[in-house]
């Protein structure tokens, strides 16, 4: 269970810069940031590989990832400037870690979504 890279971070078996934690969600800095602020939010409980694997009864967890990101943005003072949240699902989206996670990107104008 949770035998993924992010499971190891949740269990503190490998290092990460943890910037957010509540009962159900862990937030840590992305090791290869794509924006001045790039934080990954992951559920601490049962491992789910992708958004496509979320059962209906696990739906509230997805909301908790989003609310954790919004909470972090307010706390860090960039909520008013704005930010982007992204969840990649499988190969065509470029998902590389198959442990569901929400990217939070901020800290500079990010351009229109999809603009090269
Ligand atoms: P995705 O491509 O949506 O699966 O996102 C996976 C993200 O995990 C990428 O942005 C990676 O840079 C990031 N990542 C990979 N290994 C680590 C690590 N050890 N600590 C923090 N972030 C990582």
Name every protein residue with a CB atom under 6 angstroms from any ligand 1 atom. 5, 16, 28, 30-32, 40, 88, 94-97
- Judged on CB neighbours under 10 Å (0-12, 13-18, 19+), 89 is middle
Query: What residues have CB less than 8 Å from 90, skipping those under 6 apart?
Result: 50, 52
Q: Which domains does the chain have, with CATH numbers?
A: 5-106 (3.30.428.10)
Mutate to test the pocket of ligand 1, among 12, 40, 65, 101 (most ligand atoms within 8 A of CB): 40
Question: How far apart are alpha carbons 60 and 71 in whole angstroms?
Answer: 16
What confidence tens digit (pLDDT) does each residue in 60-102 have?
A: 999 999 999 999 999 999 999 999 999 999 999 999 999 999 9
What confidence tens digit (pLDDT) does each residue in 3-32 have?
A: 899 999 999 999 999 999 999 999 999 999
């Amino acid at each position: 269970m949770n035998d993924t890279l992010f499971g190891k971070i949740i269990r503190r078996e490998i290092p990460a810069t943890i910037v957010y934690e509540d009962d159900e969600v862990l937030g840590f800095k992305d090791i290869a940031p794509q924006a001045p602020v790039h934080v990954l939010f992951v559920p601490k409980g049962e491992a789910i590989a992708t958004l496509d694997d979320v059962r209906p009864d696990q739906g509230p967890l997805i909301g908790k990832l989003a609310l954790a990101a919004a909470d972090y943005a307010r706390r860090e003072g960039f909520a008013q400037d704005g930010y982007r949240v992204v969840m990649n699902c499988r190969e065509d989206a470029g998902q590389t870690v198959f442990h569901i996670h929400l990217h939070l990107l901020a800290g500079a104008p990010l351009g229109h979504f999809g603009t090269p």
